[in-house]
Structure 1
């Protein structure tokens, strides 16, 4: 008995030169990447999962940025906007997220050069090579990337010569537990848990007014929420606030008068003053193990200084940070650090276990490369689980990547990145350096 299989011949891959660069995400860094590429004569297409540009930014549009406009506009994007009737905002002003969208990102996405290249409502669910999973090597660099897209339930594949993933991390928050695993009964308590940066004084007001909220996390998202909850407490009797952190000292949140971003320093000092005034109950060294449902709300169950501790709440705000969604990248060869899940060469520069001064060495395509040729992760997602990402970083990243993809290899490796220093470093916190409790806030610990 014989069996004959009829196998159609494999179609030869089209030339890479005829394909665009695919950018995943039409946020600030994704739009900047497109502007940088077009300025160098490189064709580009942007895939945005949401219905409009900057979907994630719109979600926290009620939040004021601590970075002034002068650090929020990409140079290539500004040059593109200068060909329109766009007026640059005042350089020193601190915008809200909604201002950032209305006065910069929307006009940028609407430029003739970009508007026809953005595919809204197109979610990238997988990235691979045409006809090649991650195990195949021969001819890999010459084979087009394949992006699987979901558009209103319709699935299709499109090809690209290179991929820049700027999809961010806002939709993939860290879990509340200190161990990093999910809650044991997540569905049962989901109604009592809020994403980071809720609109406490706006559309979410009724959820928090007159109730006890526990904010978990020690970053600037937590600080923003704590300040707004304290404002609400003055207006709505019965509103109480607990702030739970894993660390022994909130000095990194409190910041320093020496912070080169004045808005960031003011944010931290406001939280410090509220804690000292008793408006916020600080629970430090709290390791959350789980959140369980009760008749009156929920309880955070965990340990403090090795002893069991339970904290009751009506609402819990998860401000523990974010992590990258790596599922769609399973078929491309990425090299990520085992700790923070950032590109391996970048990770030592941003690992919070090593430093958190807000100063990052200049980095670009050399630090962002992967074993997969012409594949890059940029923007907030490039930081993996590390905090303190600033848009200045993302803009310089995509400038360097654009030069590399345009063949300007020398220019791609000449990177300039000077980030405003926080004035507070993990190596000289008060409990480690002997400074007084208010030392960092006065700039006495970091010179």
Structure 2
């Protein structure tokens, strides 16, 4: 068994250029995973990797990709060197931590003051990756509408750098897998499941999931199962493989009037080959999700019998997320994901990130999930997170003070009476029976 992860201080700082990351989501995940020593258990830790136009146009249209990767400013502009930067403001916090504490930085962590410094560090790689771009005319209002580059998907400075590194991170996982050895491959900064062939949607510009699955098929894996645990419907992936007989897509998502993206009903699957939509309602809890897995998802996976699996581990359904729609716990969602992985012990497994809009909660979740994934395959992890002590504190690391208001507790969001809120669960067991009948189980 091989363990592969795409993560680094470089990648996470670039990932946090995405506006909805609030300048810290990816950096907090990386720092906490690193603080628990989990990276030491991976066979390959991939640094920031740059994807090319050729990589992206395996799914997306050339015209769309060219517009995404063409900036409307020059990277040499002094305004990006001199401006007061808010995106990478954690760099100063990290440096101060290493200066003021007895903890030694192993010199593998590089913190940059702004996006221009990041670009300059990778300048040659980005220039080479963009060498195929011809001059593209400036977008007019019609183009912005045509490509979805508005509302929740605006063009922002260094968008091209963000896209190339996030897609590059997911595709870099393929470098270390083969048909002889089972692997676990992770990119918590990936999982952009809403992007369509020539349209940006839901904070997603390029669909790294579709590109990954397509690459797996080209490399000889005949059948792939994709499972999406994000609060939102994985519409971009489902639509991409709607008529495929070799890619099974399963999405568990909130489906209510007015909730984005507004699709994902059962009826949409009737003319598809292997599309499985599992729409649920407000308030879903751990118990309901696990029953859904055992009664519906597991039988469907077993029947399809894929050679590898890709799981989108969106965390916006956790109790404590700003959406406040589901009430899953960190332990509960992790157990759900692990139960699926347990069916693929001798096969390829890919884990990707997704939604999640409480950065302090998300960092705890992905760190805990990473530790349980390693434990599943028998790794002797001396740095695992204690589960039997609700008072256990987070390990000291460069961003520890951001958790001050939560008393530095690891299980702050899973403990009743603290951050946890109790929602009414509108989901009934009868709905699971209806799903079983619909999918002939």
TM-score, normalized by length of structure 1?
0.32
More helix by share: 2
More strand by share: 1
Question: Could you say which structure has the larger radius of gyration?
Answer: 1
